[in-house]
Amino acid sequence: MSGKCISFAAGPQYSKADRTQVKFPVSSLGDQKQWSAKLEEQHPYFWTISVNTPANAPIGQYDLFLHASKVYCLLGKFILLFNPWCRDDLVFLPNEAQRQEYILNQDGVIYWGTENEILAQPWDFGQFDVGIVDICFRLLDIGEGYQQDKDQTQRKNPIYICRTVAAMINCNLSRKILTESGTRECYDGTPPSKWLGSSSILQQWVTLQGQPVRYGQCWVFAAVMCSVLRCLGIPTRVVTGFTWAHNTNSNPNVNEYYDEDGTLLTPDKSARVWTFHVWNECWMARTDLLPEYSGWQALDATCQKKIEGPSFCGPAPVQAIKEGDVEVDYDVCYFFAAMNAKCKVWIHMADDILKPAFICTKYTGNNISTKSVGSERCEDITHNYKYPEGSLPEKKVLDKVYRKIKTLQAISSRREIISVPPGLEERVNLFIHLQSKSSLILGQDIPLSIEMFNYSGREKSTHLVLGVQSLHYNGVPIMQLWKEKFNFIIRNNEVNTLQVFVPYSWYGKELGENRLLRLTATVRDEDSYIYFAQEEISICDPPLTIEFPENVVLYQPSTVKISLLNPLTEPLEKCVIVVGGRGLIYRQRKYRLGSVQPNSTQDLHISFTPTEAGTRRLTVHLTCLQIQNLKSYKSITVAAA
């Protein structure tokens, strides 16, 4: 073994100076902590050598060379990733079930809808698809090219990798992966809700030679980032929060503006309350911070306005967000404000005066959800981010934060940021409650129930306006769909109840991509005080069911039945179904159903032969003239032959 050495080189411009080129001898002993080469087996014509890599080595694509006397030859190439199975790696995750879920699982679930009706959609992360790892490293190369302090040795640091990837997803102006669609129509690209997985997006980005793929929204950004980070070996999951205050510039106070009829206005183009928002969590040890900040880190690739720094956020320790440690680096203050903001409602009067409305406090950061480990059940992780609303620990955290945030100079105590100004609290003497079903199937009328309770000590004359408005998920209104006005005289200590139905014909044509509706009730009493209530509901797609046979066996032909129910009073026209499933169906298949008649069900039988055993998922995607992007999925256990 005398004179025999192994060397490696990483990156396009490797050198000994920046430690991306190292030389070490072949010996009979290996060193588990350092670069080393151990002779495992020696024959006259070949040697078996094992190479050990240190846990803190930079990830990347390496060339491996052999030096023997005057011979210098390339042995081969290999790719080094983060290793969550290695105790010395910064991304070490001790739980095997979590490693299986947050590294190896390619079948994801992304949550959306409203806080009262959480809906699920499938996503194929595809982190192990052919060519994806090469795309991920190309993404890093380009991302590093735009950093002033480019240093490939930083690739050993998961914080550096996460921030580089987050910048490339949506926030790098020139070479980002995806273009945000905003509220525009997507005629020149793919609407965000039509994507089914990450691979096609990443591959299209390569085909476009680094030009952004059109289009994405927060859930697409988070899904693609999850794919890239899992591919690189960093445990990652997709997280959804409901009622999210976006672009607040770390201010835990957000305003909403309505006209006198309860129509949502948008005078502020940046700060608003989103119905839901999707971001990532990645697992790592934080050697740069206190030990208690290790674990899950919040990472958000969706751009937002900030006082300084890049427009993405994170990785911010989830524990720091919960404890209100807003001085901790990597945007803890922005996450905290988004999840703990209090919303104040203003009514824009006809004379251009803004009047505050009496409203029950609207909290943000509700029902924070992610896919459970080893199942497709939705797991609520709100307790990781915040203490229960109204609890003593929550009050202590909020009081601590309001003392720390220097930019909020007008706020000196918690009482000053609640929805109703202190000077108006004692005059609140009318209570209103608006209620509807949290979700409805497309085609159903909307039931509205409004209760008004007068405890002013005297009879009151009131003017009520009920409204229904379609909404983008990011709080931008689409259009007013329905409005009706009522006048009441409410006696003291009396409850008035009103029930109305909004016909499907009034709202069905202008629902928008996310099928969200905001219901509002605006009451003005004889003293010109304004009371306000709101509710958001989801309009759900009709049932698209998948039925597998009882037993599905590897390499044996089988048949799955897909059934579409049309609940409308009109035919569903030009129906197209796309079916896919890794290990079940080779590539995607497209089927044209034509028309599905009103109030009827149409079945589609598909033959398939599974090529992989274990749990496999089938995904079905339907589009037609009346419904865009109806998705369904079901998993089946494929038995070994």
Count other Cβ atoms within 10 Å, centred on residue 309. Answer: 11
Question: What is d(CA 50, CA 99) in angstroms, rounded to the nearest whole number?
Answer: 25
β-strand pairing of 630-639 with 552-553: parallel
Burial class (CB in 10 A: 0-12, 13-18, 19+), 462: buried
| Distance of alpha carbon 478 from alpha carbon 275, whole angstroms | 14
164 by Cβ neighbours in 10 Å (0-12 / 13-18 / 19+) ranks as: buried
CB-facing half-sphere around the CA of 503: CA atoms within 13 A: 3
CB crowding 395-416: b at 16 or more within 10 Å, else e: eebbeebbeebeebeebeeeee
C-alpha distance from residue 338 to each of 80, 242, 564 (Å): 37, 10, 39
- How far is 314 from 280, CA to CA, in rounded Å? 10
Residue type, 537: I
C-alpha separations of 462 from 67, 166, 219, 450, 500 in Å: 90, 51, 42, 13, 18
Whole-number Å distance between alpha carbons of 584 and 636: 10
Contact 363, 418 (CB under 8 A): no
* Annotated catalytic residue within 107, 124, 129, 300: 300
Torsion region of 98: left, alpha or beta (phi above 0 gives left; psi -120 to 50 gives alpha):
alpha
Active site residue 463: no
Q: Give the DSSP letter of residue 412.
A: -
Sort strands 36-42 and 47-52 into parallel, antiparallel or unpaired.
Answer: antiparallel
Encoded tokens for 393: 């620990």
Q: Which residues pair with 577 in a beta bridge?
A: 591, 622
In the set 218, 303, 313, 575, the catalytic residue is 218
Residues 261 and 348 sit within 8 Å (Cβ to Cβ): no
The residue annotated as part of the active site, out of 89, 226, 231, 277, is: 277
Return the sign of the alpha-carbon dihedral for residues 36, 41, 43, 46: negative
* Token pair in block for residue 478: 């689409």
Contacts of 30 (CB under 8 A, 6+ apart): 36, 37, 38, 50, 52
Task: Evaluate whether 613 touches 554 at the Cβ level (below 8 Å).
Answer: yes
Instruction: Confirm whether 86 is a catalytic residue.
Output: no
- Which residue, 125, 121, 151, 216, is CA-closest to 178? 216
φ and ψ at 305, to 5 degrees?
-75, 130
277 as an active site residue: the answer is yes
Which tokens belong to 534? 């709101």
Tokens of 465: 């306006």
Beta bridge partners of 451: 433, 497
Measure the CA–CA gap between 318 and 365, rounded to whole angstroms. 13
Catalytic residues: 218, 277, 300
